[in-house]
Structure 1
Amino acid sequence: MRWTILLSALLLFGCNKKETEHTTDVNDTLISIPETTKAVKAAKPEILLPKQYSNDRFKEVTVERIDENKFRVRGKGQIFEANFNWIIEDGHDELKTGFQMTDAGAPAWGSFDFTIEIQKKRENSTLTLVLFESSAKDGSRQHELPILLF
């Protein structure tokens, strides 16, 4: 019975023990700093990679804004005869069209890198670049890859 009471008293005493705190008086204000404060290393800033776009015929496509109205488009394409088209539209009109070539034709993935300069017609419009392959049969757009510019 004595051992039970003694053991209970030790457990209560051990559980109620508080952490020691240091206090410092600075300009009549008490600041308490617990002893268990740990130093934390500042996290390294994340390196933000450009967003990549892809579909069946295009992969690893990135768009980098070079100037206010100038963009650099890079990526890879698996395109028949290495030739693909692009168009920039603002939701209402087709503002600019063109074509590019990859450095290898299908079935290989060829790289491409080109720049586009474009200005908005309407201030509140959103420009979209669409990469696509033209059908050899009827010239229709195939495998469209839309990319928002600004």
Structure 2
Amino acid sequence: MRWTILLSAFLLFACNKKETQRPAFVNDTLMTIPDTTKLVKATKPENLLPKQYSNARFKEVTVERIDENKFRVRGKGQIFEANFNWIIEDGHDELHKGFQMTDAGAPEWGNFDFTVTVEKKRENSKLTLVLFESSAKAGSRQHELPILLF
């Protein structure tokens, strides 16, 4: 029993070891330096590339904010007859819509580059740009690619 208490006391003191000091000389003067190591967490590098969006018909789509209400949209599309539509909505209303063409029709991937200007109707709403291909049969939206603007 005595050995158990002695061993427990020894382990308790060993686990509560205080910071030790080690001697060091600076300009021939004895200094004490704490025996600790500081870990510096590496920070992630900033993402310098714009976010890219894609789906089955659109790829490498980026949106760059040019002005407060003006955006540049670039990317590639594999679109039938190189014609696609876009719409900007705020969750309640369609604020702006139009169509664009790529420089090549399907099955090739054609490039597109256009700018849009749109203003919010409601201050707290979020604008979403939706790129889509219209169905040749019914005219319905196909392959929608939603992109949050702001």
Instruction: Tell me which amino acid in the other structure corresponds to 1:108.
Output: E
Does structure 2 conserve the Cα–Cα contact (< 8 Å) formed by 1:23 and 1:33?
A: no
Distance 1:20 1:84, change over 3 A: same
Question: Could you tell me which residue of structure 2 aligns to residue 130 of structure 1?
Answer: 130
- 1 CA distance for matches of 2:23 and 2:83? 73
* Superposition CA RMSD, Å: 2.9
Per-residue CA deviation, residues 85-121 of structure 1 (Å, 9 max, x unaligned), is 0000000000000000000000000000111110000
CA distance in 2, matches of 1:142, 1:101: 16
Are 1:87 and 2:87 matched, yes or no? Answer: yes
Q: Which residue identity is paired with 1:54?
A: S
Paired amino acid for 1:149: L
Question: Is the CA contact 2:78–2:106 (under 8 Å) kept in the aligned structure 1?
Answer: yes
Instruction: Tell me, yes or no, if the aligned pair for 1:24 and 1:32 is still in contact at 8 Å.
Output: no
1:143 aligns with 2:143: yes
Q: How does 1:1-150 map to 2 (within 5 A)?
A: 21-22=22-23, 32=33, 34=35, 45-150=45-150
Distance 1:85 1:44, change over 3 A: closer
Question: Counterparts of 1:70 and 1:22 in 2: how far apart (Å)?
Answer: 64
Query: Offset of 1:22 from its aligned partner?
Result: 3.7
| TM-score (normalised: structure 1) | 0.73
Paired letter, 1:32:
I
How far apart in 2 are the matches of 1:78 and 1:128? Answer: 22
What's the offset of the Cα at 1:138?
Answer: 1.1
Aligned length: 126
Give deviations 1:2-46, integer Å, cap 9, x for gaps.
Answer: xxxxxxxxxxxxxxxxx9824689xxxx87255x979x8x87943
TM-score by length of structure 2 reads 0.73
Task: Find the aligned partners of 1:121 and 1:31 in 2 and give their Cα distance.
Answer: 66
Where does structure 1 differ by over 3 angstroms across 4 or more consecutive aligned residues? 22-25, 42-47
Paired with 1:117 and 1:22, the residues of 2 have a C-alpha distance of 68
